[in-house]
Structure 1
Amino acid sequence: MPVERLDLVSKLYQASLWPRVADVAAGAKSAAPLVVDLDPTTFCDLACPECISGKLLNQSRFSPERLLALAEELVAMDVRAVILIGGGEPLAHRGTRKVLRTLGEAGIAIGVVTNGTMIRQNLDELARYASWVRVSMDAGSSATYGLFRPDRKGASVFDKVVANMRLLAGAKTGSLGYSFLLMTRRNADGSTVSNHHEVLRAAELARDIGCDYFELKAMFDDEHHVLDIPADLLGSVEEQLRQAGRLTSDTFEIVNSSTINAVRALEGPVQPKEYQRCRVAELRTLVTPSGVYICPYHRGNPKARLGDAVTDSFADIWKQSDRAIVDPRTDCTFHCARHRSNLEIEAIGEDGVPSRGLIEDQDPFI
C-alpha cells in the first residue's frame, strides 16, 4: 500500500532505509544522512514580507564549482535524497541545472521547493530528474499573490508562475505541488489582510494547472512556533476545504500539513519534547552557503552549526561533527514536523526491533 505523502513515520520502515534507522535508534552515529536539504544560494528574486528566512537572504551563494563538487560528495556518501530549497530561491543559482543532472543520473531522489519564477529556465532538468517540485504560491489570484509574494519592485508575478507550472505539469515525470501557507498581516493602521479566503480558489487552480496535490499549511512566527488562526477564519478555511473535496481524484489530492493539523487540535505554539537528543538529525541535515546546520528549523543558528561546506568537504564535516549539540527540550520548543519520527525512533530503542513490518521502498524523503 502506498505511503501517504506526509506520513513520515511510516517512511522510516522502508526496507533499504531501515538499517540506518535501526542503527540510529540503537544510539549509533550515522555514516551519512539519508536526506540533505541543500540551499544553493541565499539570493531570491521575490520580496515576501512574511518570509521566515528574510534576515538571511541575499548574502551568499556557493560557487558553481563548489556546488557541483558538493553534489558529487553527496553521491559518494550514499545520500538517498536531496531537497533543493532555501533560504533563497534554489533555481536562481546558475549551477542548479548541473546539480539536478548529477544527482538525478546517480539515482538520488530530488525534491525542489521553489517560488516558480525560474521553472522555465530549468524545465528540462526538473521534468526529467525531480521526484517532486513544490511551488510556494500562497494565493489563488494575482492581487493576493502581489500582497504576500511581491517581486522586488512590488509587482505580482502570479501569472508568470502559473504559466511556468503549466509547462512543468505537461512535461514532468515526478509530482507537482501547489503550496498554500495561510497568512494574516496586521497593517500599521490596525487593519488586517489575509489570504484565507482564497483556499478553494487556489485548490481549483492547482487542479486546473495539472498539479498532483494542493498542500495547506499554517503560519509560523520567526522562531517557527505555529500561530493560531482565529475561529472565524479557520471556519472559513474548513468550509472551503470541504468544498474542495469534490476536486480530489486518483490524480489530485488535498494534503493537510502537520502545522494545520496542530492548529485544528489547539496544540498551541509550543510543542513540548522530553527527549534530549534529536535522532532525526542523524538521518537528515541542512547544507547552506553560510554553514551546515542540524536542520532547516535552525537555519542560521550558530549554536546548531556543524561546519562550513564552502571550505570543507561535507564528508569531513559529517564525520567530525557532533549532532547532539541541540537539545530538543530547550532548543526546539517550536512545532517540528519530525517530532513523531523522533518519538518512533526512541520507541524502537537499542534492540532495533521494528514496531511494524518493513515495507518496500517508495519515498526516501523521511
Structure 2
Amino acid sequence: MSTLYSTLKFLRFNEHLHAIENGEIVAPVHIRVKPINHCNHKCWYCAYRTDDLILGDEMDEKDTIPADKMLALAHEFVDMGVKAVTFSGGGEPLLYKPLPDVIEVLATGGIRIAALTNGSNLKGRVADVFAQHGTWVRISLDAWDDASYVKSRGAKKTDFSKLIKNICAFTSRDTKCVLGVSFIVGHENHQHLAEVCSLLKDCGVDHVKVSGAIVSNDAAGNNEYHSEIKEEVARQITTAQMLSDSSFTILNHYHDLEDRFEKNYHACHFLQYLTIIGADQYVYTCQDKAFTESGRMGSIAERTFKDFWFSEDNKQFLKSFDPSVMCKHHCVSHSKNLAINDYISLDKEHSYFV
C-alpha cells in the first residue's frame, strides 16, 4: 500500500524550493478552502467552537463565500496552476450548496479534490461528485455509538447510525476516492478506540488516523491532559493495529502531540505550498491560524486571489511573518518548515557531498 500521509510530500515540487531560495512567489501547490462557517455539529474539541483555544477566535458563524465568488476562485485556481484543493471548516463544508458545481470546475481543470468533513452530508449529489472526482475524504469522529455521538457534539440521537450508513454507502461505490476517518482521542472515548476501528473496517474505510485532541494553547497543558490516558491509548492502538491488512490501515499520529509549539525559525516557507481561504474571504497563513488576526494575510472580497497572492503586500507579509514570535501554538507545518529551513541553509559547495 502506498503512503498517503508524509511530511515529505513538498519535496516533489522543486520550483517552490527554488522560489523560496530566490525570494520569489509562486502559486500555492495546495489551497484549503473553508467555504462556510455554519456547522450542524458542535464538537467539544473543535478549535472553532471552543472558548479554551485562541485558534479561530474571530470566526463569524454567519460567514459564507458567495457562490459567484467561489466559482470565480475555482477558475482562478485552475488558471494559476494550483494542484489540489481541500474543503474544510470553519463549518461543515459539505453543507455548502454550491460545492458540487465548484468541484466540477476544479476537476475539469485537473485539480485534485479532497474534504475534511463530519460526513453527515456525504450523500446524494455531494457523494456523487466526491466519488467521481475526489482523491480523498476524511471524516472526523470521536464517538462509538449514538449516545456518545450526541454527548460529544450535540448531534441528533440517531446521527451516528446515519453516519455509519453514509460511510457504508460511499465505500460500496465504484470509486477511487480514499475514504478515511480521523479519530480524535480524549478522556471520554479512549477506551473505545479499538472498538471503533473494528466497526470502521467492517464499513470499508481505507484507514483510521488516530490523533490526540488539542485542548490547550501550550504544550504543557496539552501533554498534561493526555498523560492520564496515554498508556491505555497505546494499548488500544496496538489492538487496533492487529486489524491492519492490504485494504485497511491504522495510522498512529497520537505521538505527534509533543514539541510542536515553540519555533526557532523566523520565516514560514511552507506558506508557498499551502494557504487557507476562509468563509470571510480572507486569506490566512494556515489552518492553525484561520480566523485569527495574527494569521490574516489579506482580504480577497474586492479583488481576485491571484491579484492578492502576487501583490507587493503579500510579498512583504511573507518576508515579515515570524513564526518564532507569531506561532507559539500547535502547528501542522512545523516539521516541514524545519526541513525547508535546513535545505535552504545548505552550503552550495558542500551540498554535493551527499
Percent identical across equivalent pairs? 26
Q: Shift of residue 74 of structure 1? A: 0.8
Aligned equivalent of 1:212, options 202, 206, 227 = 206
**Counterpart of 1:131 in 2: which secondary structure?**
strand
Matches of 1:158 and 1:57, distance apart in 2? 27
Residue 278 of structure 2 corresponds to residue 288 of structure 1: yes
Residue of structure 2 in register with 1:93 after alignment: 96
1:346 corresponds in structure 2 to: 341
Instruction: Confirm or deny: 8 A CA contact 2:294 2:326 kept in the other structure.
Output: no
Q: State the AA in 2 paired with 1:157.
A: D
Q: Mark the runs of 5 or more structure 1 residues left unpaired by the alignment.
A: 185-193, 357-366
Match for residue 159 of structure 1? 161
Picking from 283, 288, 295, the partner of 1:297 is 288
Task: Confirm or deny: 8 A CA contact 1:49 1:148 kept in the other structure.
Answer: yes
Compute the displacement of 1:338 (Å).
Answer: 1.7
**Cα distance in structure 1, aligned partners of 2:341 and 2:135:** 29
Q: Secondary structure at the match of 2:250?
A: strand
- Which residue pairs with 1:61 in the alignment? 64
Which runs of structure 2 are paired with 1:50-129 in the superposition (5 Å)?
50-54=45-49, 56=59, 58-121=61-124, 122-129=126-133
Structure 2 CA distance for aligned equivalents of residues 242 and 323 of structure 1: 42
Instruction: Provide the rounded CA distance (Å) in 2 between the counterparts of 1:173 and 1:89.
Output: 23
Aligned residue in 2 for 1:37: 32
**Counterparts of 1:183 and 1:355 in 2: how far apart (Å)?**
44
> For the Cα contact (< 8 Å) 2:113–2:135, is it kept in 1?
yes
Of 94-103 and 42-51, more deviation after overlay is shown by: 42-51
Match of 1:311 in 2: 302
Q: CA deviation at 1:335?
A: 2.8
CA shift, 1:147, in A, is 1.3
Contact 1:199 1:240 in 2 (8 A): yes
In the alignment, is the contact (CA less than 8 A) between 2:288 and 2:332 conserved in 1? no
1:135 is the counterpart of 2:139:
yes
| Alignment partner of 1:12 is 2:21 | no
Q: CA deviation at 1:355?
A: 7.8
Distance 2:66 2:210 in 1: 34
2:167 & 2:46 partners in 1: Cα distance? 21
Paired residues of 1:288 and 1:309 also in contact (CA < 8 A): no
- In 2, are the aligned partners of 1:110 and 1:131 still within 8 Å (CA)? yes
Alpha-carbon distance in 1 for matches of 2:294, 2:237: 40
Conservation of the 8 A alpha-carbon contact between 2:45 and 2:213: no
Q: What SS does the corresponding residue of 2:143 show, helix, strand or coil?
A: coil
Shift of 1:218: 1.0
**What TM-score, normalized by structure 2, do the two folds share?**
0.88
Q: Does 1:279 align with 2:278?
A: no
Cα distance 1:170–1:274, how it changes in 2: closer, same or farther (>3 A)? same
Q: Which amino acid aligns with 1:206?
A: L
Task: Say yes or no: does 1:336 pair with 2:331.
Answer: yes
The structure where helix makes up a greater share of residues is 2
What is the identity, as a one-letter code, of the residue corresponding to 2:28?
A: P
- What's the RMSD between the two structures over aligned residues? 2.3
Any idea what SS the aligned residue of 1:61 has? coil
Distance 1:286 1:224 in 2: 23
Between 1:287-296 and 1:56-65, the stretch displaced more is 56-65
Distance 1:119 1:235, change over 3 A: same
What CA distance in whole angstroms lies between the structure 2 residues aligned with 1:334 and 1:84? 23
Give ranges in structure 2 of 5+ residues lacking alignment: 50-56
SS of the residue corresponding to residue 135 of structure 1 reads strand
Partners of 1:230 and 1:280 in 2: CA distance = 29
Distance 1:8 1:99 in 2: 28
User: Does structure 1 retain, via aligned residues, the 8 Å contact 2:217–2:330?
Assistant: no
Using CA pairs under 8 Å that are at least 6 residues apart, name the structure with larger relative contact order, 1 or 2. Answer: 1
Equivalent pair of 2:36/2:92 in contact (CA under 8 Å): yes
1:66 deviation in Å?
1.1
2:81 alignment partner, SS class = coil
Which range moved further: 287-296 or 43-52?
43-52
1:166-181 pair list within 5 angstroms: 166-171=168-173, 172-181=175-184
SS at match of 2:36: coil
Cα deviation digits, residues 120-154 of structure 1 (max 9, x gap): 03111010111000001112222212111223xx5
Partner Cα distance (1:350, 1:77) in 2: 29
Q: TM-score, normalised by structure 1?
A: 0.85
Size of the alignment, in residue pairs?
334
Q: Deviations over 1:2-37 (max 9, x none)?
A: 4x322112x1222xx22222322x142322111101
